[in-house]
């Protein structure tokens, strides 16, 4: 059931999941499968809101393909038995299409989703947690934080960054004025911006502190995905994009002819119009940051069950989950942790978890976090 503005939603519940994206809906589905009662998904906008907010034309980096009948889960699916590749008939769906898949999944799975509910804070109670929301205070035994990062853009600490437009604030590439555009940042969003801008006839210069386009890492969490490399190569061949490595932009100033970008090594570049910031995103745990500890990289610190190390009962799912050197930041990665969280909650509630065996069989339940060291391993 998908409803809005608190209609029909109880103010006491077993589990409150904050965020109706792939992480929130995915873990809700696992909890439903094992019979955990009274689970609600709270969403500030509509189902899949972050994907609706993507720039028009931006697509998922990972391909979608319906191989479920052979025991292989679609990389972009939120459950072992669904496939956006099959339902959308698209390999790399754009944001609006993927949001459509998420809404269909929520309805087919029979999940209780409450849209139009903004969560602002959490407070521990003698039993459970109190959640401050736009529709009043809600009490839950457990809270699963499933907010993504797209709505927390980071300016990378660049002085004068307000002179630029962040990737997350651009509705479409045609809205960028001028024939020449500078993009600050050379990772996925920066290259996607360059490709998108080139596709509408812009000349683009990408200023990358780290030359991700030159990195050769098996993990697309650390290097450009094959899909991005493929699109970049095609765009470079057309001569519309120039890549500048080692360009650590630290400040911006307005001049008569445009915006001057200053690098830490003394170089500078003049952008005729507002540059595009592709400087990444801050933590999606902003509203509840006081209840998480963070490591040196800014990622939330978690127990082996993906629970806050400071507030029992508060769990995290989604792209910020990390354990050691393993980053679970793609959908096919972070869904591996849904059953871990569900198992922890079910165990405390005394709910039978035998239904989780299907997740183990579909390689969607990790018992540990070890990974082979063989250079040929693609785990």
For residues 272 and 286, state if they share a domain: no
Q: What are the residue ranges of helices labelled H in 302-371? A: 331-334, 338-349, 357-361
- pLDDT at residue 379 in the model: 27
Residue 371 domain flag: no
Residue 368 domain flag: no
Q: Which of 247, 277, 307 finishes a domain? A: 277
Are 345 and 15 in contact by the 8 Å Cβ rule? The answer is yes
For residues 186 and 235, state if they share a domain: yes
Q: Which of 256, 277, 298 finishes a domain? A: 277
For residues 290 and 264, state if they share a domain: no
CA distances from 341 to 29, 303, 326 (A): 12, 11, 17
For residues 124 and 171, state if they share a domain: no
For residues 168 and 147, state if they share a domain: no
Are 99 and 132 in contact by the 8 Å Cβ rule? The answer is no
Whichever domain contains 333, its CATH number is 3.50.50.60
Count CB neighbours of 371 within 10 A: 11
Residue 144 domain flag: yes
- pLDDT at residue 28 in the model: 96
Count CB neighbours of 61 within 10 A: 18
Residue 338 domain flag: yes
For residues 192 and 237, state if they share a domain: yes
Residue 369 domain flag: no
Are 191 and 238 in contact by the 8 Å Cβ rule? The answer is no
Residue 355 domain flag: yes
The pairing of strands 258-263 and 268-271 is antiparallel
For residues 197 and 124, state if they share a domain: no
For residues 50 and 128, state if they share a domain: yes
Judged by DSSP in three states, 35 sits in coil
Count CB neighbours of 6 within 10 A: 18
Q: Residue 288's closest CA among 306, 300, 272?
A: 300
Q: Residue 195's closest CA among 151, 158, 227?
A: 227
User: pLDDT tens for residues 228-277?
Assistant: 999 999 999 999 999 999 999 999 999 999 999 999 999 999 999 999 99
Instruction: Show the low-confidence residues of the chain (pLDDT under 50).
Output: 368-379
The pairing of strands 276-277 and 180-184 is parallel
- 0.95 exceeded by pTM: no
Gap between the Cα atoms of 75 and 333, Å rounded: 9
Residue 367 domain flag: no
Q: Which domain holds residue 222?
A: 161-277
- pLDDT at residue 356 in the model: 83
For residues 332 and 256, state if they share a domain: no
Number of domains in the chain: 2
- pLDDT at residue 370 in the model: 42
For residues 125 and 47, state if they share a domain: yes
Q: Which of 259, 277, 295 finishes a domain? A: 277
Residue 268 domain flag: yes
Burial 264-302 (b: 16+ CB within 10 A, else e): eeeeebebebbbbbbbbbebbbebbeebbeeeeeebbeb
Gap between the Cα atoms of 142 and 279, Å rounded: 33
For residues 166 and 147, state if they share a domain: no
For residues 290 and 272, state if they share a domain: no
């Amino acid at each position: 059931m998908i409803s809005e503005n608190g209609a029909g939603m109880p103010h006491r519940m077993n589990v409150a999941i904050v965020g109706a994206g792939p992480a929130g809906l995915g873990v809700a589905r696992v909890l439903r499968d094992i019979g955990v009662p009274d689970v609600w998904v709270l969403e500030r906008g509509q189902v899949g809101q972050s994907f609706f907010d993507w720039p028009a034309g931006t697509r998922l980096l990972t391909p979608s393909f319906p191989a479920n009948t052979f025991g292989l889960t679609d990389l972009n699916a939120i459950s072992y038995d669904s496939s956006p590749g099959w339902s959308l008939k698209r390999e790399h769906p754009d944001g609006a299409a993927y949001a459509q898949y998420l809404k269909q999944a929520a309805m087919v799975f029979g999940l209780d989703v409450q849209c139009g509910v903004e969560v602002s804070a959490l407070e521990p109670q003698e039993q459970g947690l109190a959640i401050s929301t736009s529709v009043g205070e809600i009490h839950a035994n457990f809270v699963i934080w499933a907010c993504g990062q797209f709505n927390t853009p980071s300016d990378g600490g660049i002085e004068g960054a307000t002179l630029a437009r962040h990737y997350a604030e651009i509705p479409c590439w045609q809205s960028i004025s001028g024939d020449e555009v500078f993009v600050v940042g050379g990772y996925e969003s920066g290259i996607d911006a360059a490709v998108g801008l080139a596709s509408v006839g812009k000349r683009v210069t990408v200023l990358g502190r780290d030359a991700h386009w030159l990195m050769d890492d098996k993990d697309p969490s650390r290097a450009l995905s094959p899909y991005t490399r493929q699109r970049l190569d095609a765009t470079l061949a057309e001569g519309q994009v120039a890549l500048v490595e080692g360009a650590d932009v630290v400040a911006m100033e307005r001049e008569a002819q445009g915006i001057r970008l200053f690098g830490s090594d003394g170089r500078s570049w003049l952008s005729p119009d507002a540059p595009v910031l592709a400087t990444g995103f801050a933590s999606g745990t902003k509203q509840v940051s006081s209840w998480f500890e963070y490591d040196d990289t800014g990622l939330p610190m978690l127990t082996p069950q993906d629970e806050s190390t400071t507030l029992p009962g508060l769990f995290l799912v989604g792209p910020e989950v990390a354990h050691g050197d393993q980053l679970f930041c793609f959908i096919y990665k972070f869904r591996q942790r849904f059953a871990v969280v569900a198992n922890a909650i079910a165990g405390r509630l005394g709910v039978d978890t035998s239904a989780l065996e299907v997740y183990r069989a579909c390689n969607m339940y990790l018992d540990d976090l070890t990974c082979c060291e063989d250079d040929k391993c693609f785990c």
